[in-house]
């Protein structure tokens, strides 16, 4: 095999990495947002549900969670549903995206909760006093500010999502690390394969970090200094 083919393999691994992490990130953002908001509501029940959710997904290794989704869940479902899951084409991809998505959602929730709590209490009161409902208060006043504040930590959580897709090689997802690993087994060109994979990860990191810095600058509010 020539070097061109190696690179093709690695690049196809990179595509799998990116696809998986994007889908996982969407899941993480949506459910993390719901849970993060729940934890800041005055309702005891809501904040307890949020707390339980976060503890559940944070206190087990990602690898174990992937095994639960991949090996255990199909067995616990009714037979036909379990069979359908097992025969799903591309099962490692869907499992990885969902598993990593929920794992990361707990982290997103924690960040968002911290962001909302860091806003002055008067903001919520001012919105309420104007007659906005709780939903409207979150939608128009609290969340736009909270997301701006937590943009930097969210960037690193997104980078973590990308890195965490490598864990899915344990359930047979052939992403970037997996491709490098399989080349080691077949070709003995370990050093080259790992180096190339490493460089690709560094490039992805650089692009994401740069893009997020642009986004931060784009949504920055004139005159506003964070933490003031």
Partner 1 sequence: MIGNFDFDVIRRALPYLFFEGMRFTLTLTALAAFGGLVFGTLIALMRLSGYRLLGRVAGIYVDFMRSLPLVLVIFWFYFLVPYIGQWLTGASRPITVGAFASSLITFIMFEAAYFSEIMRAGIQSISRGQPAAANALGLTYSQTMRYVVLPQAFRNMLPVLLTQTIVLFQDTSLVYVLSITDFLGAASKVAQRDGRLVEMYLFAAVVYFVICSAASFLVRRLQARIAIVR
Partner 2 sequence: MIEINHVNKWYGPSFQALKDCTTSVAKGEVVVVCGPSGSGKSTLIKCVNALEPIQGGDITLDGVKVNDPRTDLPKLRSRVGMVFQHFELFPHLRIVENLCLAQEKVLGRRHDDAVAKGMKLLDRVGLKDHAKKFPAELSGGQQQRVAIARALAMDPIAMLFDEPTSALDPEMISEVLDVMVDLAREGMTMMVVTHEMGFANKVADRVIFMDRGEIVEDAKKTDFFGQPRSDRAQKFLSKILQH
Query: From residue 183 to residue 212, what is the string marking binding to partner 1 with x (rule CB under 8 A)?
Result: -x-----xx--x--xx--xx--x-------
One residue of 133, 198, 205, 210 binding partner 2 per CB under 8 A: 133
Place of tokens 């690993």: 181
Segment 48-77, which members bind partner 1 (CB under 8 A)? Answer: 55-56, 58-65, 67-68, 71-72, 75-76
User: What is the dihedral angle through the alpha carbons of 152, 153, 157, 159, rounded to the nearest 10 degrees?
Assistant: 40
Q: Could you tell me which residues come within 8 angstroms of residue 162 by beta carbon, excluding any fewer than 6 positions away? A: 17, 18, 21, 201, 204, 205, 208
19 part of the interface to partner 1, by CB under 8 A: no
Our CA angle for 154, 158, 160, nearest 5°, is: 115
CB of 29 to partner 2, least distance (A): 19
- Residue 133 interacting partner from partner 1, partner 2, none (CB closer than 5 to 8 Å by kind): partner 2
- How far is residue 179's CA from residue 7's CA, in Å, rounded to a whole number? 10
- Residue 23 interacting partner from partner 1, partner 2, none (CB closer than 5 to 8 Å by kind): none
Q: Is the dihedral of CA 134, 136, 109, 216 positive or negative?
A: negative
> Is 128 or 182 the residue whose CB approaches partner 1 more closely?
182
DSSP 136: H
Contacts with partner 2 by CB under 8 A lie at 120, 122-123, 125-133, 136, 140-141, 144-145, 148, 221-225, 228
């Amino acid at each position: 095999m020539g070097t061109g083919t190696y690179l093709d393999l690695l690049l196809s691994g990179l595509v799998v990495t990116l696809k998986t992490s994007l889908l996982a990130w969407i899941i993480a953002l949506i459910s993390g947002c719901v849970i993060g908001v729940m934890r800041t509501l005055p309702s005891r029940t809501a904040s307890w549900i949020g707390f339980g959710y976060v503890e559940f997904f944070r206190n087990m290794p990602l690898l174990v969670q992937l095994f639960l989704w991949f090996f255990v869940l199909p067995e616990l479902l009714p037979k036909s549903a379990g069979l359908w899951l097992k025969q799903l084409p591309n099962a490692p991809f869907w499992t990885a995206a969902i598993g990593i998505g929920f794992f990361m959602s707990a982290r997103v929730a924690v960040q968002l909760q911290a962001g909302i709590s860091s806003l002055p209490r008067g903001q919520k009161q001012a919105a309420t006093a104007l007659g906005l409902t709780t939903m409207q208060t979150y939608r128009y006043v609290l969340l736009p500010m909270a997301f701006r504040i937590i943009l930097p930590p969210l960037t690193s959580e997104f980078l973590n999502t990308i890195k965490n897709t490598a864990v899915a090689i344990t359930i047979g997802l052939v992403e970037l690390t997996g491709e490098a690993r399989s080349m080691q087994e077949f070709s003995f060109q370990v050093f080259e394969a790992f180096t190339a994979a490493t460089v690709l990860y560094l490039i992805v990191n650089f692009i994401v970090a740069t893009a997020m810095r642009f986004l931060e600058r784009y949504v920055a509010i004139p005159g506003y200094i964070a933490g003031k």
